[in-house]
Amino acid sequence: MNANDISARGANWLAALTQGASLLSGFPPSVRVAHAKLGQHAARYIAVVPDPANPYPRARSGEVGLVEAWEVARAVREVVDADQKGDEKRAIVAVIDVASQAYGRLEEACGIHQALAGAADAYATARLEGHPVIGLIVGRAMSGAFLAHGYQANRLVALSGPQVMVHAMGKESAARVTLRTVAELEALTANVAPMAYDIDSYASLGLLWKLLKVARPDAPTRADLQAVEQTLIAAYEDIRHQTSRSLAGRLSAGGRPASVRVREKLREQWT
């Protein structure tokens, strides 16, 4: 799949996981928010989806634009604020299929970097406040869009398959910026795991908590849905059983030895 193709995966998985629960009103069509149980626990599910009628022309294909990012921030912070004095901090599930951040003049002029910071801040704050935050990657998790919507989660879960990818930049732009042709880039990325676009290479870096194979990732079967639900519940329990609210779990899987070594050296030399 090309990064710019319209995808219904985010919407389909959000609807399936929330059993078709009605969407919360007050959010734009590109930001879907719904409540459902995660096992025995209340949870809020959030997805950014394509909206061909989006008033912002650069954010019609599932990109995270100015409004999407600030609205995601609002959807997350509503939960944090509402549960501030509650006994149980609700879970937040980011259903992730985001083509990219919105590329546009108006976006840059109005500080889309600040909008994405708003969303990343909201998720990070939710995690630090004790909300179990789970990122479920069902399609593309690209670049700034992923940083804003999902990368701050306590645990990342991804479906396997060729249409699931995580990357810092689309292939055409990455080729231009690194002064290569797309063919050269593809040949090179096949041998360098962090540059590859496929989810199996990404999984080898140790950043995923679970990689899950389902039969029909575009429109989940009953068994697919059950498998994903069981994994989300397991992720929830795993988060609850750990005292740490940091992202340190992503370092322990062994896929990033230099990242670990840098931290060890910093600690040795810190005081």
Partner 1 sequence: MDAQELLHRESFIELGARSRARQLLDAGSFRELIDPFERMVSPWLARQGIVTQADDGVVVAKGTIDGQPAVVLAIEGRFQGGSMGEVSAAKIAGALELAAEDNRNRVPTRAVIVFETGGVRLQEANLGLAAIAEIHAAIVDLRRYQPVIGIAAGTVGCYGGMSIAAGLCSYLIVTRETRIGLNGPAVIEQEAGVAEFDSRDKPFIWGLTGGEQRHRTGLADVFVEDDVTQIRSEVLNCFRKGRPAACRSERVSGFLHRLAAFNPGEQATSEEVAGIYSKGFEA
Residues 167-206 that bind partner 1 (CB under 8 A): 167-170, 172-174, 176-178, 188, 192-196, 201-202, 205
Q: Considering beta carbons, is residue 183 or 266 the nearer one to partner 1? A: 266
| DSSP strand pairing (155-159 vs 91-98) | unpaired
Task: Tell me how far, at minimum, the Cβ of 37 lies from partner 1, in Å.
Answer: 27
Residue that the structure tokens 């795991």 belong to: 193
Q: How far is the CB of 91 from partner 1 (least distance, A)?
A: 18
**42 membership: H or E segment, kind and range:** strand 41-48
Give the nearer residue to partner 1 in terms of CB position, either 35 or 74: 74
Given 226, 242, 252, 259, the residue binding partner 1 (CB under 8 A):
259
Give the Å distances, CA to CA, from 1 to 5, 58, 198, 224. 7, 19, 11, 21
Of 130-159, binders to partner 1 (CB under 8 A) are 143-144, 146-148, 151-152
Give me the half-sphere count of Cα atoms (radius 13 Å) on the Cβ side of residue 89: 20
- The closest of 234, 262, 221, 270 to 91, measured between CA atoms, is 234
The count of residues interacting with partner 1 (CB under 8 A) is 78
CA-based nearest residue to 219, from 10, 1, 12, 45: 12
Query: Which residue, 128 or 223, is less far from partner 1 as judged by CB?
Result: 128
Q: Please state the three-class secondary structure of 152-207 as a single string.
A: CCCEEEEECCCCCEEECCCHHHHHHHCCCCHHHHHHHHCCCHHHCCEHHHHHCCCC
Nearest distance from C-beta of residue 80 to partner 1, angstroms: 11
Is there binding between residue 58 and partner 1 (CB under 8 A)? yes
Instruction: Please report, as residue ranges, which positions from 9 to 38 form the binding site for partner 1 (by CB under 8 A).
Output: none
* Binding-residue pattern over the window 87 to 126 for partner 1, x denoting contact by CB under 8 A: -------------xx-xxxxxxxxxxxxxxxx-xxx-xx-
